[in-house]
């Protein structure tokens, strides 16, 4: 375990407590934000000396923060530093010194911002990214008593009283006022609320993972689902599934709020099969009964590649393999298409505007655009729709089958075309 130590009482207490309990502390990590000039450097030197005295490896990093929300920028910089330590194999977990008081402040902060139930769980004791918070059931007063009893030195960060930061205003003004006027045990009540929400969300997480596996179709860079299915679900489930889809697309739910989730549900409940919404980091589009969430950006037409039977080739959308085999006789089997064959190679590509051909069993040419409309193929799937052509003529297209053979066509062999999921 690597312990993140700022030099303040909470993180210093955590480091010494884990050492006393003989947990496997292999390192101390410190990020110097350079926000308080010489004081920040003194904090770093104090933490480095503490690690040296305890015989623990010291890891440090620093960085100037981008203009804007300093609290968010500082948190992001620390997390990137900690994630790098884990990725390099220097530890299995990063231990953070958040206490029960921090939990109460976080919950109140999120209530004031209009958080959903997941946000009321506050900071989590264990996260998938490798962070653990062993002091979440310990109060700030207990931390201070621990340090006094052992005469352990620590640093006091003057910026913790700077009320330009929202969390400091909550800690020093809002929480004390509410405790005095409404509930002297407010910190404990907020921490209990976090405990309750956390257990609720743990159950929901497993349930949504199960439903998401059935409901969400994950494609490269996007997530798709049926609008009608979403509209029929209870709101408690549909809202969580929408958030899950957003998280899978953009990696987190930063800047996503209640209005964004409701907008997606509103699009799903429309009777018409179209709709669009711009959400921070996610583009939402409805086409027919499908809704797609993806990273914003115009789709790029799929390029063409030469393919030679026999062989397996990735489809332009990356979701399937196009399997080509030479067989001696024609076979009428629903799972694959066959056509008379005497050429050596084909072109595998995506759809292009103006594409047309005569599918087997049809009496005339059909525009693929019309076939897409009739089959209710979502607009975003078309540019990467797998098509095989020979000398400019389409001989096969996904779902619509092989081309009709021209009268009198002769060939001594047949080409079997089978599409299977990628990875098989």
Q: What is the pLDDT of residues 141-158, one digit of tens each?
A: 999 999 999 999 999 877
Q: What is the pLDDT of residues 272-314, one digit of tens each?
A: 888 999 888 899 999 999 999 998 877 677 788 999 888 999 9
- DSSP 8-state assignment for residue 380: G
Assign 197 a pLDDT band (cuts: 50, 70, 90): very high
As a whole number of angstroms, the distance between CA 189 and CA 137 comes to: 13
Query: What phi, psi does 76 have (nearest 5°)?
Result: -65, -40
105 by Cβ neighbours in 10 Å (0-12 / 13-18 / 19+) ranks as buried
| Res 188 pLDDT > 60 | yes
Does a cis peptide bond (omega within 30 degrees of 0) precede residue 310? Answer: yes
For the question of whether the overall pTM of this predicted structure is more than 0.75, the answer is no
Domains of the chain: 2-192 (3.40.50.620), 216-294 (3.30.465.60), 305-421 (no CATH)
As a whole number of angstroms, the distance between CA 397 and CA 417 comes to: 10
Given this model, what pLDDT does residue 192 score? 94
CB 149 within 8 A of CB 137: no
As a whole number of angstroms, the distance between CA 90 and CA 299 comes to: 40
**Residue 355 neighbours by CB under 8 Å, 6+ apart:** 367, 368, 369, 387, 394
Given this model, what pLDDT does residue 334 score? 60
| Res 72 pLDDT > 80 | no
| Res 409 pLDDT > 70 | no
Closest-CA residue to 284 (of 309, 320, 259): 259
Tokens coding 294: 């993806």
- DSSP 8-state assignment for residue 359: B
292 by Cβ neighbours in 10 Å (0-12 / 13-18 / 19+) ranks as buried
As a whole number of angstroms, the distance between CA 397 and CA 377 comes to: 13
Once rounded to an integer, what is the mean pLDDT over residues 88-102? 95
Q: Which residue matches tokens 């904090």? A: 43
| Residue 362 CA to its chain's centroid (Å) | 45
Tokens coding 298: 């115009």
Strand residues in 190-272 grouped as ranges (E): 217-219, 222-226
CB 255 within 8 A of CB 273: no
Which of 69-83, 274-288, 403-417 is most confident?
274-288
CB 299 within 8 A of CB 291: no
Q: What's the sign of the alpha-carbon dihedral 156, 109, 102, 68?
A: negative
| Residue 337 CA to its chain's centroid (Å) | 38
Assign 119 a pLDDT band (cuts: 50, 70, 90): confident
Tokens coding 421: 């999921």
The radius of gyration computed from the CA coordinates of the chain, to the nearest angstrom, equals: 30
Given this model, what pLDDT does residue 257 score? 84
Residues 317, 323, 327: CA angle, nearest 5 degrees: 155
Q: What is the pLDDT of residues 300-354, one digit of tens each?
A: 777 889 998 889 999 998 888 999 988 877 666 565 677 777 767 889 999 999 9
């Amino acid at each position: 375990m690597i312990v993140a130590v700022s030099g303040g009482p909470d993180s210093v207490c955590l480091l010494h407590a884990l050492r006393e309990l003989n947990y496997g502390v292999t390192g101390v990590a410190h990020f110097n934000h350079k926000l308080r000039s010489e004081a920040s450097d003194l904090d770093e030197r104090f933490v480095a000396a503490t690690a040296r005295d305890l015989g623990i490896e010291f890891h440090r990093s620093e960085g100037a923060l981008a203009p804007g929300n300093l609290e968010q920028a500082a948190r992001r910089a620390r997390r990137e530093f900690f994630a790098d330590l884990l990725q390099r194999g220097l530890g299995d977990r990063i231990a953070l010194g958040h206490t029960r008081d921090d939990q109460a402040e976080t919950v109140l902060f999120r209530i004031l911002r209009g958080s959903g139930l997941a946000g009321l769980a506050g900071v989590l004791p264990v996260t998938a990214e490798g962070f653990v918070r062993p002091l979440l059931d310990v109060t700030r007063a207990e931390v201070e008593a621990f340090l006094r009893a052992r005469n352990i030195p620590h640093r006091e960060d003057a910026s913790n009283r700077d009320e330009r930061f929202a969390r400091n205003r909550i800690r020093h003004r809002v929480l004390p006022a509410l405790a005095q006027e409404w509930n002297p045990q407010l910190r404990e009540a907020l921490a209990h609320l976090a405990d309750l929400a956390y257990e609720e969300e743990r159950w929901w997480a497993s349930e949504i993972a199960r439903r998401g596996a059935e409901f969400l179709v994950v494609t490269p860079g996007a997530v798709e689902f049926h609008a009608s299915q979403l509209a029929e679900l209870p709101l408690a489930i549909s809202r969580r599934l929408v958030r899950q889809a957003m998280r899978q697309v953009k990696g987190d739910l930063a800047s996503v709020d209640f209005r964004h989730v409701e907008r997606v549900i509103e699009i799903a409940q429309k009777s018409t099969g179209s709709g669009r919404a711009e959400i921070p980091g996610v583009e939402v589009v409805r086409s027919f009964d499908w809704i797609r969430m993806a990273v914003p950006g115009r789709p790029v037409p799929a390029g063409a590649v030469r393919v030679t039977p026999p062989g397996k080739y990735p489809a332009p959308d990356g979701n399937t393999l196009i399997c080509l085999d030479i067989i001696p006789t024609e076979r009428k089997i629903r799972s694959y298409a066959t056509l008379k064959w005497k050429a050596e190679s084909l072109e595998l590509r995506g759809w292009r505007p103006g594409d047309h051909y005569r599918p087997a069993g049809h009496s005339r040419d059909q525009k693929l655009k019309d076939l897409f409309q009739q089959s209710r193929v979502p607009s975003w799937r078309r540019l990467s729709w797998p098509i095989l052509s020979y000398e400019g003529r389409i001989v096969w297209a996904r779902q619509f089958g092989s081309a009709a053979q021209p009268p009198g066509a002769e060939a001594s062999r047949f080409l079997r075309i089978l599409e299977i999921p990628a990875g098989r």
